[in-house]
Amino acid sequence: MMSLLLLVLILAPLLGGLGMLIRPIEDTHKRNTFVMILCSAVSVGALALLLGCLQGGGGRFVLAEIFGEDFSLALHVDGLSAVFVAIVAVLWPITNLYAFEYMHHDHAQNRFFAFFTMTYGVVIGIATAANLFTLYLFYELLTLCTLPLVMHEMDGIARYAGLKYLIYSMSGAAMAFLSMMILSNYGSLVFLPGGGLDRGLASGHETLLQLGFLLGFFGFGVKAAVYPFHGWLPSAGVAPTPVTALLHAVAVVNAGIFAILRLQYFGYGASFLAGGFAQNVMLAATAFTVVYGSTMALRMQHLKRRLAYSTVSNLSYMLLGAALCSGVGLTAAILHMIAHSALKIALFFCAGALLCRTEELPQGVQEYVFQYTGYAKKTPSIFAVFTIASLGLIGVPPLCGFASKWAIAQAAAAQATPLAITGCAALAISAFLTGLYLLSLILEAYFPPEGFDYAPLEELSDPGWRMNSALWLCAILGLALIFCMPLLQNVLSAYAAGLL
Does the residue 52 lie in any domain? no
Is residue 289 domain-resident? yes
Phi, psi of 24, rounded to the nearest 5 degrees: -55, 140
Nearest in space to 113 (alpha carbons), one of 103, 123, 105: 103
288 domain-assigned: yes
- Is the pLDDT at 88 greater than 60? The verdict is yes
* Position 181 in a domain: no
Distance CA 128, CA 141 (A): 14
344 band by pLDDT with thresholds 50, 70 and 90: very high
Over residues 424-430, the mean pLDDT reads 95
Condensed to tens digits (0 to 9), the pLDDT of residues 35-64 reads 999 999 999 999 988 887 766 656 678 887
Its domain, for residue 285, covers 274-500
What's the pLDDT at 1? Answer: 64
Q: Is the pLDDT confidence value at 67 over 80?
A: no
216: in domain: no
Quick count: other Cβ atoms within 10 Å of Cβ 105?
A: 9
Does residue 301 fall inside a structural domain?
yes
Domain-located, residue 226: no
Asked, for residue 348, whether it belongs to a domain, the answer is yes
Let me know if 362 is exposed, middle or buried by CB neighbors in 10 A (0-12, 13-18, 19+).
exposed
User: How far apart, in whole angstroms, are the C-alpha atoms of residue 31 and residue 36?
Assistant: 9
Q: What is the pLDDT of residue 243?
A: 85
- What's the domain count of the chain? 1
Give the confidence band of 107 by pLDDT, cuts at 50, 70, 90: confident
Question: Residues 6 or more apart from 58 whose CB is under 8 A from it?
Answer: 2, 52, 76, 77, 78
